[in-house]
Amino acid sequence: MLDVNSSTRTEQVFLILLALADEPLHGYGIVQEVATLTGGRTRLKVGTLYGALDRLSAEGLLALDREEVESGRLRRYYRLTDTGAAALAEDVERMTAITRAATRRLRARGVPIGGANTATAGGTA
């Protein structure tokens, strides 16, 4: 049986973790990366972003990578910690299991659907 409540991270938090999976990013970089990941459907609000960054940093899922000043603007770059990567992997596993189950059931109904073995993170978060 699938335990959909095992994670307490919202879709936005999942997307922030995912955005940082490749490389450290600063605040607006995360906003842009999340928009790219979701095809423009999710536009992170600044208050949501910094609330999440504070919480994820306190939980040890993110860490400050470096500070820079670019064009006179202070930019702090955040990176995913090993704990953060493990949490992200846990969320992906959970969503993959849900996607597999959904695909199986839709196929059983005769609904044509592809990519049964992979979960598209942006679409299922």
Partner 1 sequence: MSGQGGKGTAREQKEQREQGPERGREQQQETVPGSYQRVLMLLPRGYRERRGAEILGTLLDAADAEGRTRPSLREMLSILSLSLRVRTGAAGGSTRADALGAVLRRTALTGLLLQSAIYAMQVYGSGHQMESLWNSWLSSGSTQMHDLSVEYLYEALWRSGAFVAASMASVLLLAGRKRWGVLLAAVGPLTTVVDVNIGDGDSFSLAFVGPVNGIYLALLGLGVLPLLTAALGFQRFDRRTRSVRRQWIATMILVDVVLLGLTALITQWGDALPGSQFLVPAACVVPAVAFVAGAGRLSPAWPLAFLAAGAPVLALLPRTITDLGGDGVGGFSGVSGSIAATGAVSLLGEVLFAGILAWSLYRNRTPAPVTARR
Min dist CB 113 to partner 1, Å, is 30
Contact between 67 and 75 (Cβ < 8 Å): yes
Contact between 10 and 58 (Cβ < 8 Å): no
Look-up: residue for tokens 């999710």? Answer: 42
Inter-CA distances, 10 with 19, 88, 116, Å? 14, 12, 24
- Chain positions 13 to 32 lying near partner 1, rule: CB under 8 A, are 19, 22-23, 25-32
- Chain positions 43 to 62 lying near partner 1, rule: CB under 8 A, are 45-51, 54-55, 57-59
Considering only 4, 41, 60, 67, the residue that binds partner 1 (CB under 8 A) is 67
Min dist CB 60 to partner 1, Å, is 11
